[in-house]
Amino acid sequence: MPVKSVTVRVPAKVNLQLSVGPKESDGFHNLVSVFQAISIFDDVTIKLSEPGAGLTISISGEQTHGVPADANNLAAKAVSLISKEYDLTVDAHIEIKKSIPVAGGMAGGSADAAATIVGIDYLYSLGMSREEMVEIATQLGSDVPFMLSGGTAIGRGHGDQLTAALSRGTYHWVLALSTVGLSTPAVYAECDRLRAELEIVEPQTHEALMQALLAADAPAVGAALVNDLQAAACSLRPALRLVLDVGQEYGALGAIVSGSGPTVAFLVADEEAGLDLAVALTSSGVVGSVARAYGPVAGAKVIT
């Protein structure tokens, strides 16, 4: 008897490092990215429909603005790729309950795609290996493979060639969320514009960050956070500079625009410090809303 439905929980991510190489002839950039999966989750439920019904999608939850409920959703694109690869006809409804901010540099769309790969594999008993899942994920975007595994990892190439980072400890985060997203292509274009006269070298892993993660030294991790897209995100959204300054003024160990932004992630010493910073940011009036999270957590996994 086939399983009728499945729910997969998948986390958000923050970038502890995002180093961007020169623009290549294909328009892309080689990256070195250190990802950490954190405890803000989307739940993706896939229910089998009647034969011939095709694929439908609905979006619910706190973070739904601008999320497509059609073939443009990365979850639908994941289904399309798997259908071709495995000669599968998928008649199903996908319900995405969103808590991960949209267009916030936290891989919300990529997370949903990863959850869909895991869910379709489970629902249709495909028996996909981790390598086969990653192969599908890589075609969908540079963040999708990491959302399958979670934890803390180093991404190279376009961010999709992953190796686990040697990391110890639990890290506490306060996230300053924006009501309006930033376009990733626009941020990369601005980064290229700002660096047009500079000689850009191929990116490398930030050694101080890797040593700090291995030592579970949160203050050293905070000091080593780095994002080459941060200047571009701040150029397009100048208010982000004020958010970064306010968070550090109120005692954050480190502050970084996550990915292409506009979410700003503050590393704090512990849960109590996180609560204090969240209150301070909220009362400062420079932040739309805040969330608290910890990491690392596991990637996409079946919960029902």
Q: Are residues 153 and 24 in the same domain?
A: yes
Q: Are residues 84 and 214 in the same domain?
A: no
Q: Are residues 187 and 161 in the same domain?
A: no
CATH code at position 144? 3.30.230.10
Q: Are residues 17 and 157 in the same domain?
A: yes
Q: Are residues 228 and 152 in the same domain?
A: no
Tokens of residue 140, six digits: 């969908």
Q: Is the pLDDT of residue 202 over 60?
A: yes
Q: Are residues 43 and 73 in the same domain?
A: yes
Taking the whole predicted model, whether its pTM rises above 0.95 is answered as no
Q: Are residues 136 and 177 in the same domain?
A: no
Q: Are residues 121 and 149 in the same domain?
A: yes
Residue 98 known to be catalytic: no
C-beta separation of 14 from 38 below 8 A: yes
Q: Are residues 159 and 54 in the same domain?
A: yes
Q: How many domains, the chain?
A: 2
C-alpha to C-alpha distance for 186 and 179, rounded to whole angstroms: 17
The 8 Å CB, 24+ separation contacts for 61-65 are: 61/96, 61/97, 61/98, 61/99, 62/98, 62/99, 63/98, 63/99, 63/100, 63/101, 63/102, 63/108, 64/98, 64/102, 65/102
Q: Are residues 198 and 148 in the same domain?
A: no
pLDDT at 46: 98
Tell me the pLDDT tens digit for each residue of 114-141.
999 999 999 999 999 999 999 999 999 8
Q: Which one of the listed residues 121, 143, 160, 228 is annotated catalytic? A: 143
Residue 270 known to be catalytic: no
Q: Which one of the listed residues 13, 77, 97, 98 is annotated catalytic? A: 13
Containing structural domain, residue 240: 171-295
